[in-house]
Structure 1
Amino acid sequence: MKLKAIFNRDGGTFKTTDMGEFCVRATEVFALAGHQISCSVVAGKDVVPALEAAAGENGVDALIAGGGDGTISAAAGIAWKVGLPLGVVPAGTMNLFARSLTLPLDIWRALEVLAEGSVQAVDIATVNGKPFVHQFSAGLHARMVRMRDAMEFSSRLGKIGASTRAAFGVMLRPPRFEVIFDIDGDGREEHRVVSAVSVSNNPFGTNPLLFADDLTTGQLGVYIAGPLEPSGVGRLAIDILRGRFEENQAVTAATAKMVRLHFPRRRHGALCVVDGELLRMPGDVEIRIHHNELKVLAPAVKAHAVRSR
Structure 2
Amino acid sequence: MTDRSARWLLTWAAVLAGTFLLLGVAVSAGWQALLDADTTVSDPIAGLVAHHAHVITGLHWAELVTGTIAANITALGGALLLGWKGHPRAGVYFALVTWLTIVSVHLLKALFDRDRPEWQVVDHIIHNGSYPSGHAAWATSIAGSIAVLVSMLVRKAPVRRVMYGALLLSVVAIGADRILLGRHFLTDVLGGAALGGAWVLLVLAFYSPLPRGHARHLEPLLATTPSGKRDLHVVLNPIKVESLETFKAVVSQMAAESGWSEPVWHHTTVEDSGTGQAHDASIAGADLVLVCGGDGTVREVCAELAGTGIPVGIVPAGTGNLLGRNLSLPLYFRSAIDVALNGQDKAIDMVALSGDGVEDTSFLVMAGMGFDAAIMEGVNEDIKKKVGWIAYVLSALKALMFPAMKLEISVDGGEFTTHRARTVVIGNVGYLQGGMPLIPNAAIDDGQLDVVLLYPKKFLSWLPLAFKVLTKQKRSDASLTRFTGTRVVVRSATDVPRQIDGDIISSGKELVCETVHGRLLVRVPR
TM, length-normalised to structure 1:
0.83
5+ residue gaps, structure 2:
1-229, 355-359
Aligned residues: 288
Distance 2:239 2:476 in 1: 37
Distance 2:471 2:289 in 1: 33
Other-structure match for 2:364: 133
Q: Secondary structure of 1:74's partner?
A: helix
Q: Secondary structure of 1:271's partner?
A: strand
Other-structure match for 1:226: 455
The structure 1 residue matched to 2:425, chosen from 177, 198, 201, is: 198
Maintained 8 Å contact 2:402/2:422: yes
Whichever residue aligns with residue 418 of structure 2, its letter is H
Whichever residue aligns with residue 153 of structure 1, its letter is I
The CA deviation at 1:210 is 4.4
Distance 1:105 1:78 in 2: 24
Maintained 8 Å contact 1:124/1:290: yes
Q: Deviations along 1:92-132, whole A, 9 cap, x unmatched?
A: 12211111222111011111121111222111112113111
> 1:214–1:196: structure 2 CA closer, same or farther, 3 Å change rule?
same
The CA deviation at 1:271 is 1.8
Distance 2:291 2:352 in 1: 20
The structure 1 residue matched to 2:378, chosen from 118, 123, 147, is: 147
Maintained 8 Å contact 2:275/2:301: no
Greater share of helix: 2
> 1:136–1:276: structure 2 CA closer, same or farther, 3 Å change rule?
same
Distance 1:199 1:156 in 2: 30
> 1:120–1:156: structure 2 CA closer, same or farther, 3 Å change rule?
farther
> 1:93–1:204: structure 2 CA closer, same or farther, 3 Å change rule?
closer
> 1:180–1:201: structure 2 CA closer, same or farther, 3 Å change rule?
same
> Mean alpha-carbon deviation: is it higher for 195-204 or for 138-147?
195-204
Distance 1:138 1:43 in 2: 28
Distance 1:192 1:154 in 2: 33
Distance 2:335 2:398 in 1: 37
Task: Please tell me whether Structure 1 or Structure 2 has the larger radius of gyration of its CA atoms.
Answer: 2
> 1:154–1:275: structure 2 CA closer, same or farther, 3 Å change rule?
closer
Greater share of strand: 1
Other-structure match for 1:176: 404
1:35 aligns with 2:260: yes
Distance 2:439 2:417 in 1: 26
> Mean alpha-carbon deviation: is it higher for 53-62 or for 130-139?
53-62
> Mean alpha-carbon deviation: is it higher for 243-252 or for 226-235?
243-252
The CA deviation at 1:49 is 5.2
5+ residue gaps, structure 1:
302-309
Q: Secondary structure of 2:239's partner?
A: coil
Other-structure match for 1:244: 472
Matches within 5 A, 1:94-113: 94-113=320-339
Other-structure match for 1:307: none
> Mean alpha-carbon deviation: is it higher for 95-104 or for 32-41?
32-41
Other-structure match for 1:59: 285
> 1:134–1:76: structure 2 CA closer, same or farther, 3 Å change rule?
same
Whichever residue aligns with residue 105 of structure 1, its letter is L
The CA deviation at 1:264 is 2.8
Q: Deviations along 1:119-169, whole A, 9 cap, x unmatched?
A: 2211111211311111001111011222224x6325251x43322221111
> Mean alpha-carbon deviation: is it higher for 223-232 or for 121-130?
223-232
> Mean alpha-carbon deviation: is it higher for 224-233 or for 60-69?
224-233
> 1:198–1:59: structure 2 CA closer, same or farther, 3 Å change rule?
same
> 1:92–1:204: structure 2 CA closer, same or farther, 3 Å change rule?
closer
> 1:189–1:244: structure 2 CA closer, same or farther, 3 Å change rule?
same
Other-structure match for 1:80: 306
Distance 1:46 1:265 in 2: 31
The structure 1 residue matched to 2:523, chosen from 276, 294, 297, is: 297
Maintained 8 Å contact 1:4/1:54: no
The CA deviation at 1:247 is 5.8
Higher relative contact order (CA 8 A, sep 6+): 1
Q: Secondary structure of 1:297's partner?
A: strand
Distance 1:289 1:97 in 2: 16
Maintained 8 Å contact 2:279/2:304: no
Q: Percent identity?
A: 21
Distance 1:196 1:66 in 2: 30
Maintained 8 Å contact 1:123/1:292: yes
